[in-house]
Every structure is written in C-alpha cells, then in structure tokens.
C-alpha cells in the first residue's frame, strides 16, 4: 500500500516528521529516497524533534551513522550515499541497530536496498512545482499505525493528503 502527501513548505515538512516522531513505535524503520535537496534531512529533523531529541541533527555524510539517545526512543540516522560495499555496512555496525528499539532513518536507502528489512516504511520524496510529494509505502502490519498517522496529518496546515 502507498499513501501520498503534498507538503507545501519546509515547516510543514518538519511538522510532518514531528508527527512521525511523536507516534513512532520502537523498531520502526524509515527508508528514505529522493534527490539531493529533496528534504530527507529536513524530514528527519522533524522526526528527531517529535522523539524529543535535544541535539541538532545534521546529515552524517562522513560518519555514515549518527546515534541520538536523548529522546523517548533512541534514533539511528544513517546516510547511505557513500556506502558502496556490504563490508562497509558491517564495519559501521549497521546490523546491531536492527531488531532493537531504535527508530532507524536511512537517507539514500536504495544504496543498501538488500539490507533493509521488508517491514520498513519506504519513503520517497519528489520535487513538485510547489513543495514536495512524499510517498510512503507500507505493509499490512503498519496499516493501523498509518491510519492513525493520517488522522493527525489531516489537521496540519500546508499539507494535502493525495
């Protein structure tokens, strides 16, 4: 199943992420894709805020993984753009985060497609003339969560559910 949202500006993007963070359930994985500047990091900043994380979040381009523990659930934020080999993924300890309570957010997830668990949300961000389109692909097990999420999002200004 896929649900699409039109997010008109950067603030709405953060609010959209914040709702994800507020509602997040331990172990959820958000596998994000979208061109440079699409808004993957902006969305992740919103998620971090929703989790109650205090630190500022930046793209971990050179460290690959950044770990945040000050929120109600721990967040693992990963930038897979430069991950070219499975060995590197092993070196940075990627698997240690799977099947834990960590909320996992991966930018450039296609880069490590084979190593993303099937139950992950696949989040695609595309440019629109005004704002962005976010497509969230989810499986049957996440349906109830998604319905509750959509309900919250319906109340937000500058977001249109497509």
Ligand X SMILES: Nc1ncnc2c1ncn2[C@@H]1O[C@H](COP(=O)(O)OP(=O)(O)O)[C@@H](O)[C@H]1O
Residues that bind ligand X (CB under 6 A): 7, 9-10, 12-13, 34, 36-42, 59, 107, 131-132
CB of 58 to ligand X, least distance (A): 9
Q: What is the CA radius of gyration of the chain?
A: 15
CB of 105 to Mg ion, least distance (A): 10
**Scanning residues 24 to 43, which ones bind Mg ion (CB under 5 A)?**
40-41
Contacts of 64 (CB under 8 A, 6+ apart): 78, 79, 80, 82, 83, 88, 92
CB 46 within 8 A of CB 20: yes
CB of 67 to ligand X, least distance (A): 18
- Select the binding partner of residue 13 from Mg ion, ligand X, none (C-beta < 5 to 8 A, by kind): ligand X
* Of residues 5 and 97, the one with the C-beta less far from ligand X: 5
CB 98 within 8 A of CB 90: no
- What token pair was written down for 116? 């993303």
């Amino acid at each position: 199943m896929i649900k699409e949202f039109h997010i008109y500006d950067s603030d709405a993007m953060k609010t959209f992420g914040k709702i994800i963070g507020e509602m997040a359930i331990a172990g959820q994985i958000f596998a994000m894709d979208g061109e440079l500047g699409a808004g993957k990091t902006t969305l992740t900043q919103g998620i971090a805020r929703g989790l109650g994380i205090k630190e500022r979040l930046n793209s971990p381009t050179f460290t690959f993984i950044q770990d945040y523990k000050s929120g109600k659930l721990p967040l693992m934020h990963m930038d897979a753009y430069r991950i070219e080999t499975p060995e590197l993924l092993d070196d940075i300890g990627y698997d240690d985060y799977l099947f834990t309570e960590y909320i996992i957010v991966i930018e450039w997830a296609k880069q490590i497609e084979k190593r993303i668990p099937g139950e992950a949300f696949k989040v695609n961000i595309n440019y629109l003339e005004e704002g962005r389109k976010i497509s969230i692909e989810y499986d049957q097990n996440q349906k109830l969560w998604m319905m509750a999420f959509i309900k919250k999002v319906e109340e937000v200004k500058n977001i249109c559910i497509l």
